[in-house]
């Protein structure tokens, strides 16, 4: 996986950049190393920082955003509140659930729920029943 930069060297972690170069496995690997603090670019302190509620959002009493990652502070997803995630166009989501040592990557385009289809939230609820919290 390659994260491209703009002409000034700033990293661009957005839209076509990630979708064009990142596979589901690549995103999961990147997130696992980032979340564990073993990636060279992310110390354990940095990994904790990205999932900590940002001061401006805390002041607004909206526990939903950290440092470049959304956090599950209001229960957006049916997973523990320690979860944090990246989300993109079409419902693409990379969800990190530390209390379960779990990373969920949803790729593809979401066009709504058809007859008999299982929504992402329903699938997550079932996953939480199947994957126990770490001890």
Q: What is the pLDDT of residues 18-57, one digit of tens each?
A: 555 567 777 777 777 776 655 555 677 877 888 899 999 9
Residue 31 belongs to a domain: no
Residue 124 belongs to a domain: yes
pTM summary value: 0.75
> Does pLDDT of 12 surpass 60?
yes
Q: What is the pLDDT of residues 47-68, one digit of tens each?
A: 788 889 999 999 999 999 988 8
Residue 74 belongs to a domain: yes
pLDDT class of 73 with cuts at 50, 70, 90? very high
Residue 50 belongs to a domain: yes
Q: Provide the domain count of the chain.
A: 1
CA distances in angstroms from 122 to 12, 63, 75, 81, listed in the order given: 32, 23, 14, 17
Residue 61 belongs to a domain: yes
Residue 28 belongs to a domain: no
- The tokens describing 64, both together, are 């939903």
pLDDT for position 67: 85
CA distances in angstroms from 14 to 11, 46, 83, 105, 111, listed in the order given: 9, 20, 21, 16, 20
> Does pLDDT of 17 surpass 60?
no
> Does pLDDT of 125 surpass 60?
yes
pLDDT for position 53: 92
Domain that holds residue 102: 44-130
């Amino acid at each position: 996986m390659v994260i491209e930069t703009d002409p000034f060297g700033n990293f661009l972690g957005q839209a076509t950049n990630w979708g064009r170069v990142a596979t589901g496995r690549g995103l999961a690997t990147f997130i696992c190393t980032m979340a564990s603090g073993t990636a060279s670019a992310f110390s354990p302190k940095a990994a904790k920082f990205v999932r900590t509620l940002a001061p401006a959002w805390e002041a607004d009493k909206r526990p939903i955003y950290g440092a470049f990652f959304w956090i599950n502070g209001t229960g957006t997803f049916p997973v523990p509140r320690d979860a944090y995630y990246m989300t993109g166009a079409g419902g693409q989501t990379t969800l990190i659930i530390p209390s379960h040592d779990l990373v969920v990557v949803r790729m593809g385009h979401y066009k709504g729920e058809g007859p008999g289809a299982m929504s992402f939230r329903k699938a997550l609820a079932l996953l939480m029943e199947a994957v126990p919290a770490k001890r």
